Amino acid sequence: MDIQSVEKVYRRYAQRYDFYFGALFEPGRRAVIEQMNCRPGERILEVGVGTGLSLPLYPRDVHVTGIDVSDEMLARARARVEGEGLHHVTALHKMNAEQMRFADDSFDKVVAMYVASVVPHPARLVDEMRRVCRPEGELYIVNHFQHSNPVVGGVERLIAPLSRLLGFRPDFSLENFLDQTGLDVVEQTPVNLFDYWTMLRARNNKNSLQGDAALFATA
Ligand SMILES: C[S@@+](CC[C@H](N)C(=O)[O-])C[C@H]1O[C@@H](n2cnc3c(N)ncnc32)[C@H](O)[C@@H]1O
């Protein structure tokens, strides 16, 4: 997957996205926003906001910013915000989540719903989520990870070469993801149909990671 393929796939999906993935992914969207336990005035960033299906689910007293690389998905999110009068959505930007234009520590909570297995470099995505989130803020990820059942996992591996066509990697391994990102996961919950997807809540451990790097540098 590269960013051009992502844009191409989601240009194709945009018109029918809500029909295919609206209801299917809805329990996970609701569960993660509930788990975020948003407090009044909090600054929330949602990366890969897509057509904005999650936006009406946030409490009205937070400030939500959404970003996505797909113009066509974003156009639908903008229409939703306007059509439903979602005043808590303060901005929607076209932006690559692996290279964000936000300053460090701009948000209290950062969430990625069904995005980690879509982006070309998941570790860069998490690094950027950490950077723009305040220290001790929280990161949330909902995603499908490769199934532990050998038959289901085998099928996922089999269709993995179709990633560019599907718009996500079906054989995305949770173990590798956690290894590569160093996410400090405090809660892991199965969500959606057949518990096929996983929700992760992680502390923003950027300060302790920087501390570790400094230790290595002086060792
Ligand atoms: C499977 S959709 C999920 C959309 C939405 N979060 C939802 O709950 O339905 C993945 C979205 O991530 C976006 N995306 C993929 N890579 C991205 C990147 N590097 N930066 C920003 N958005 C990205 C895609 O354009 C698409 O809208």
Boundaries of every domain in the chain: 3-218
pLDDT at 205: 87
Which CATH code, of 1.20.58.100, 3.90.226.10, 3.40.50.150, 2.40.50.1070, is assigned to 3-218? 3.40.50.150
The rounded Å distance from CA 115 to ligand 1 centre is 5
Of 68, 78, 143, the residue with max ligand 1 atoms within 8 A of its CB, to mutate for a pocket test, comes to: 68
CA distances from 40 to 11, 35, 57, 59, 190 (A): 35, 15, 15, 8, 27
pLDDT at 218: 53
For residue 82, count other CB atoms closer than 10 A to its CB.
Answer: 10
Across the 219 residues of the chain, what is the mean pLDDT of every consecutive 10-residue run?
Answer: 91 96 96 97 98 98 98 98 98 98 98 96 97 97 88 78 77 93 96 90 87 55
Is the minimum distance from the CB of 199 to ligand 1 under 6 angstroms? no
Spatial contact of 82 and 100, defined as CB atoms under 8 Å apart: no
Phi, psi for residue 108 in degrees, rounded to 5: -85, -35
**In the chain, which ranges are continuous DSSP H helix?**
3-13, 17-36, 71-84, 122-132, 150-159, 163-166, 174-181, 206-218
Q: What is the 7 CA–ligand 1 centroid distance (Å)?
A: 9
Q: For residue 6, how far is its CA from the centre of ligand 1 (angstroms)?
A: 8
Q: State the chain's mean pLDDT as an integer.
A: 92
Q: Does 73 contact ligand 1 (Cβ within 6 A)?
A: yes
